[in-house]
Chain A
Amino acid sequence: DVKVTQSSRYLVKRTGEKVFLECVQDMDHENMFWYRQDPGLGLRLIYFSYDVKMKEKGDIPEGYSVSREKKERFSLILESASTNQTSMYLCATNRVAYGYTFGSGTRLTVV
């Protein structure tokens, strides 16, 4: 089974801090994704990457950046955290004919 590991389950950060959310997958999949989930808004795509050093903006990229230096690792960066970025963040990977696999999620609170 594909395993997608997110480094933190819960995180509390202060407004203005630079925040790194890490995601690692162990199945050599090309595609990796970052979503955020908010009550009433569902899951929304922030960024995805289809290869090392390649990235594409999703539906809500503002205030975020990403890094993919190695195939197995996809990082989401909040350049200057704000309270409206308090959310559940979910990383995923996918492969054709296999579907998407999600990590366990990171609940980020910005105070």
Chain B
Amino acid sequence: GIQVEQSPPDLILQEGANSTLRCNFSDSVNNLQWFHQNPWGQLINLFYIPSGTKQNGRLSATTVATERYSLLYISSSQTTDSGVYFCAVDQTGANNLFFGTGTRLTVIP
């Protein structure tokens, strides 16, 4: 199956700092999403971004499908940004979402 790798695995930031999370995938994809899993376990959809760039407030994402990677940018981080960030992809006909291993972000005040 398709391989999804995320880096870094762990990240500790001071409140107000910026960060970039990376997702590499091993094959062409139909869909790519970024999720934030909060401390209560809920997976919150941040971006549906199979290609191109999107922005939502302090967050933005870019996917370069031809080079098989995606980046999630977090600016002016806040303590509420803490949690695990997952990149997930699916392929045409797969009926399954393949997740990366996640980046655990801790934002300290």
- Shortest beta-carbon distance, B36 to chain A, in Å? 11
CB-CB under 8 A for A100 and B41, given A45-B96, A48-B95 = no
A37, A43, A50, A102: the one within 8 Å of B95 (CB)? A50
- Residue A61 at the B interface, CB < 8 A? no
In order of increasing CB-CB distance, the 5 nearest A-B pairs are A99-B48, A102-B43, A105-B41, A104-B42, A99-B33
- Residue B69 at the A interface, CB < 8 A? no
The residue of chain B having its C-beta at the shortest distance from the C-beta of A89 within the complex is B41
A99 near B43: Cβ-Cβ < 8 Å: no
* Complex interface: chain B residues within 8 A of A100 (CB): 31, 33, 45, 88, 90, 97
* Complex interface: chain A residues within 8 A of B45 (CB): 99-102
- Residue A90 at the B interface, CB < 8 A? yes
List chain A positions with a Cβ less than 8 A from chain B: 9, 31, 33, 37, 42-43, 45, 48, 50, 56, 58-59, 88, 90, 92, 94, 97-105, 107
CB-CB under 8 A for A99 and B31, given A48-B95, A56-B95, A92-B97 = yes
Please give 19 more A-B residue pairs, beta carbons under 8 A apart, in addition to A33-B97, A99-B45.
A31-B95, A37-B41, A42-B99, A42-B102, A45-B96, A45-B97, A90-B41, A90-B43, A94-B97, A99-B31, A99-B48, A100-B31, A100-B33, A102-B44, A102-B45, A103-B42, A104-B41, A104-B42, A107-B41
- Shortest beta-carbon distance, B3 to chain A, in Å? 12
- Shortest beta-carbon distance, A42 to chain B, in Å? 5
**Central interface residue in B43, B99, B102, by most chain A CB within 10 Å:** B43
Q: Give A99 to B42 CA distance when docked, in angstroms.
A: 16
A-B contact pairs, 20 of them (CB 8 A): A9-B40, A31-B95, A33-B96, A42-B101, A43-B99, A50-B95, A56-B95, A58-B96, A88-B41, A90-B43, A92-B97, A94-B97, A97-B48, A99-B48, A100-B90, A102-B35, A104-B41, A104-B42, A105-B40, A105-B43
A48 near B42: Cβ-Cβ < 8 Å: no
Q: Give A58 to B96 CA distance when docked, in angstroms.
A: 8
* Complex interface: chain A residues within 8 A of B42 (CB): 102-105
